[in-house]
Structure 1
Amino acid sequence: MMLFQRLEMCIELIRLSVRFVIVVAEAVGVVIQQNGPPPLTFPGYGTSTPFAGFMP
């Protein structure tokens, strides 16, 4: 009798763990979708400085 109760508790804990992992994975996916893709260019690269030549 005790063996069956322990097995049932173990199975229920595994089910809860799987549900938790699924919820966390879905939340991470939502956060990634909301942030969008990372920018390919950095803001400082947009402005260029004029080339003045070489110093002698």
Structure 2
Amino acid sequence: MTITDPAHVAAAQGAAVKQFQRPHATPAPDDDMERDLADYTTARSGSSTAA
């Protein structure tokens, strides 16, 4: 069981909302850098699913 301070919950929720609402940089149209999160999982686990 975790005991959570209501003030801490409110502060964390406020910070999460602010972070979500903050504009993010958009990649340039000619930027072909795309990341697949499965690549990180594969690299971290040491296994490869690529043929």
TM-score by length of 2: 0.37
CA radius of gyration, larger in: 1
Structure number with the bigger relative contact order (C-alpha 8 A, sep ≥ 6) is 2
TM-score by length of 1: 0.34
